[in-house]
Structure 1
């Protein structure tokens, strides 16, 4: 009997040891898998940032997708994200102003813009005189997947989703079985039930979540990179009905050697899935903290140019205006003034002459114009340097980034992102007239370093509220 008990004890010990080893092995595999995912996620983010243009955008709606990815993962410097947000806002303003010339914005596009604005603590309900959320509520998308995306955007902005829209979401959940429609519905309903007024809807999530989980294919994916990324965002850490690690592995199998997942839009979607920071997390961002004005670095020192100490500004200006000093409300930029080589060092037979105007205020309370002669093939940045040497009104500060200079201060007026005050550069066919200000279609198409000036052109830097 004693011998039998000993044998039984040994068997139990072996079983427990095997079970412990199995669990320990799975934990090691999970840790290894998560470490690999983090590494590939970092490569994808690096590729995405490398595709950003010199205007801080990615071009069109891709800027919105990429901005969501870098904002929700907190990638890069806050100032960089704010510059990208500014570029996106300019693009959207142009589309809103050109609605008679270009195809109208679809509800899905407005929803993406709204999500990106909310992710960066900008209210889409008060977008320069436009209520983007009100537009989504009054103009419903026809397709189920787009309608779900619009509902998510409305909820993420903090607005109340109407009962009629909730009923349609529930109808889609009960009748449609595509990854895109179910994924969008789950994300929208997950956001809606966070509102205490809609907590009773929690049990309605079980059916679409289960239906979406059952659409996972044998290879781990959900049909495409877009659909798989959306499904992972919607299903989250739900493990009973689907296999998350298998879906993530399927995504990583389609990653390119450079870290990309085909293009900017798809890479941005996959990043959100891998980072556990999907579109559903936009509403979780805390925007109640007091905004912090990000201080830009001092003026860049450019090699191969003469550097002079910053001169004290004149207190007597044109039109009885004064450049702010240390005692004024607007502080002068610190650092150095970057000035170019003298005209005698260049070939005079290839010179071009342009006008360079500064406007301050949406109502143009300050107006200065200077004529600049510069060598052929000069950039507008060269023009700015010459102007700063000749007239203290044109003293500027710029941040030097790997993809060019970003001018943030002119004539003592620094951009204020929190109040939407920015410097906008226009390239015009004639001298700017305050009584007939230029439309935003004439905003310069590129940055100051890539803008080659031509003889007889007119340039305007306008400090205004967007």
Structure 2
């Protein structure tokens, strides 16, 4: 007579992404190795187990039981099945929350995780509103941004991290152009990175954050797209995402024709196993190409016939580890972002639209205009007066003829403000920019900055330059770029760069 041995394990089944029910699986193993499985599902109140995508589900540990009998040893191997996308996302979100550090951040990946959590959120509100822990994580991210920006005198903030922070702030319905008195978007747009991937990432972040996307930036994106064969798959994916953001303005809809070719080329790079190479490359390609399934150029136009979205998603799902992650926090965040309905092409949630004032009125033309997308944030009321809009610019200090010290502030100020007022604003932001000036009938004369006073006997003076781009110590500006007027009469302009240089004449 067979003596059955009763084994059990706990698991769960999900009706949707939001509702999961616990189940217990009983397995009987008899002396002859025959296995029979009975699945009992306990119906418990659904709302007791309802979970949002950003709240960690109840931890359910599944372990294979180990049982030894006197007469024989039976090894039970549980067959693991690939989770569906909803289950995989929930398990990955739990993994991310479990790897949150004591300071409520995720180390160098805080921005990526916060962006991913918001992309995976379908509650119609910011994740900050869903609990104290998420508020603490959001504050930790803000602290990281402020620390990064405070080190500008040592070196400019890394462009990739700055773009990621900007995207995360935009996803949380925050204004990156007015972040504790700092303009993160200006910091992005005032630097022309030599690497095309960084450039596309920065442009995507600026466009997604309701900022200016200048005509020359759009042209560079198009140049990269037209030479797709010369660039990496990551670069082409990011360019496609940036252009997808740009063409959301109806005045730039015609640019979609320039996007279809690189999308088709990227689609053809899919491997037979469904991937595009590495995990991060596949995740980014999915976000760039999934638009072709639902409208990036329409059926037959953008390359959907050249690739399989289900195969790419399946490849990702099959590589999810038992703990819910994809190896580490960064890889998990990338995979989840690819599996969620939202993507980097549109990080700002629809419910944030009431915080924007649509002023996109400068199409790409050849009449000498800037040809940029213009979006300004509303501050509680509509204001269509163009003179009331803010301008963004940089203010730099150089010390020494050979530039031994270099400090830069990325600033935003009201239009038609004098540079003297800008200097007072900068001095409040950073002690390095404190100054002293003598008052004369024709205005203020600045003689001391950053603790360095002019030395007429040694021919050391402070000179103010007005520049079209961020000053580069390896290529200092000529004297023809010295400001023609004093600090009181010089009005700051959008997109310009101002340099005070302490040098020997």
Structure 2 length-normalised TM: 0.49
Alpha-carbon separation, structure 1, partners of 2:135 and 2:305:
40
Partner of 2:346: 281
Q: Is the 8 A contact 2:200 2:239 kept in 1?
A: yes
Aligned runs of 1:84-233 on 2, under 5 Å? 84-101=137-154, 103-177=155-229, 178-233=232-287
Q: Is the 8 A contact 1:220 1:250 kept in 2?
A: yes
**3-state SS of 2:140 partner:** helix
Quote how far apart the aligned CAs of 1:227 are.
Answer: 0.3
Alpha-carbon separation, structure 2, partners of 1:81 and 1:176:
40
Alpha-carbon separation, structure 2, partners of 1:260 and 1:64:
17
Partner of 1:72: 119
Q: Which structure features the higher share of helix residues? A: 1
Q: Is the 8 A contact 2:236 2:262 kept in 1?
A: yes
**3-state SS of 1:184 partner:** helix
* Structure 1 unmatched ranges of 5 or more: 1-32, 291-438, 440-466
Aligned runs of 1:299-310 on 2, under 5 Å? none
Quote how far apart the aligned CAs of 1:288 are.
Answer: 4.5
1:44 maps onto 2:92 in alignment: yes
**3-state SS of 1:220 partner:** coil
Please report the RMSD computed on the Cα atoms of aligned residues, expressed in angstroms. 2.7
Quote how far apart the aligned CAs of 1:245 are.
Answer: 1.0
Alpha-carbon separation, structure 2, partners of 1:229 and 1:179:
11
Q: Is the 8 A contact 1:119 1:285 kept in 2?
A: no
Q: Is the 8 A contact 1:148 1:184 kept in 2?
A: yes
Partner of 1:347: none
Structure 1 length-normalised TM: 0.53
Quote how far apart the aligned CAs of 1:104 are.
Answer: 3.2
Alpha-carbon displacement from aligned partner over 1:378-418 (angstroms, at most 9, x marks no partner):
xxxxxxxxxxxxxxxxxxxxxxxxxxxxxxxxxxxxxxxxx
Q: Is the 8 A contact 2:226 2:258 kept in 1?
A: no
Runs of 4+ in 1 over 3 A off after TM superposition: 79-82
Alpha-carbon separation, structure 2, partners of 1:122 and 1:284:
11
Quote how far apart the aligned CAs of 1:289 are.
Answer: 5.3
Quote how far apart the aligned CAs of 1:105 are.
Answer: 1.3
Cα distance change on mapping 1:46 and 1:130 into 2, 3 Å: same
Q: Is the 8 A contact 1:191 1:280 kept in 2?
A: yes
Aligned runs of 1:53-452 on 2, under 5 Å? 53-60=101-108, 62-74=109-121, 78-79=130-131, 80-101=133-154, 103-177=155-229, 178-237=232-291, 238=293, 239-288=304-353
Quote how far apart the aligned CAs of 1:35 are.
Answer: 7.1
Alpha-carbon separation, structure 1, partners of 2:187 and 2:146:
15
Alpha-carbon separation, structure 2, partners of 1:149 and 1:168:
13
Quote how far apart the aligned CAs of 1:34 are.
Answer: 11
Alpha-carbon separation, structure 2, partners of 1:219 and 1:287:
38
Alpha-carbon separation, structure 2, partners of 1:121 and 1:284:
8
Q: Is the 8 A contact 2:82 2:318 kept in 1?
A: no
Quote how far apart the aligned CAs of 1:52 are.
Answer: 1.0
* Structure 2 unmatched ranges of 5 or more: 1-80, 294-303, 356-430, 432-505
Q: Which structure features the higher share of strand residues? A: 2
Cα distance change on mapping 1:208 and 1:230 into 2, 3 Å: same
**3-state SS of 1:197 partner:** helix
Q: Is the 8 A contact 2:171 2:349 kept in 1?
A: no
Q: Is the 8 A contact 1:111 1:136 kept in 2?
A: yes
